[in-house]
């Protein structure tokens, strides 16, 4: 059995889903932990709205920072990042069933509008599994592409 991914270790320490992904990859990206976490904070919980899963958006950030050039008008670099994001999304959906936070939670019997269920989400919810899956898929995509 595989060891826990560093992203899952960050998650179990109390970082949110998107923060855990960003934190795990910060050293490879040349970012300090604090900066990586600050960038990712607003993406947790599907951007605090149940939209795209924070572990997924964290992975998108890593892909952009890894494959993007940062140059205005660099369509080739942008297109490559878009393809990587699409590949990641397809694999995540195949493995987890969706990329939308509210759907992932609902598939596991959790209603985002239920405050009691949300209070215990970290302990009982599927988020740790989503963080682990996102990190493993991100590793696969990066290994194949870089």
* pLDDT tens-place string over residues 3-52: 889 999 999 999 999 999 999 999 999 999 999 999 999 999 999 999 99
Report CA 10 to chain centroid distance, whole Å.
Answer: 12
Number of other residues whose CB lies within 10 A of the CB of residue 117:
15
Tokens 């595989």 sit at which residue?
2
Q: Which pLDDT tens digit goes with each residue over 88-107?
A: 999 999 999 999 999 999 99
Q: Which pLDDT tens digit goes with each residue over 123-137?
A: 667 999 999 999 999
Tokens 């696969």 sit at which residue?
140
Give the Cα separation of 98 and 80 in Å (integer): 23
Residue count of the chain, please give it. 146
* Domains of the chain by residue range: 6-145
Q: What local confidence, expressed as pLDDT, does residue 116 receive?
A: 86
């Amino acid at each position: 059995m595989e060891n826990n991914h560093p992203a899952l270790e960050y998650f179990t320490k109390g970082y949110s889903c998107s923060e855990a992904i960003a934190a795990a990859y910060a050293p490879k990206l040349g970012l300090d932990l604090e900066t990586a976490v600050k960038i990712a904070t607003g993406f947790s919980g599907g951007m605090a709205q149940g939209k795209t899963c924070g572990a997924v958006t964290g992975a998108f950030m890593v892909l952009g920072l890894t494959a993007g050039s940062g140059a205005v008008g660099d369509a080739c670099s942008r297109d490559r990042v878009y393809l990587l994001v699409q590949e990641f999304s397809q694999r995540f959906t195949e493995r987890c069933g969706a990329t939308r936070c509210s759907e992932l939670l609902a598939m596991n019997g959790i209603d985002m509008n239920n405050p009691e269920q949300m209070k215990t989400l970290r302990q009982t919810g599927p988020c740790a599994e989503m963080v682990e899956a996102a990190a493993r898929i991100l590793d696969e995509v990066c290994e194949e592409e870089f």
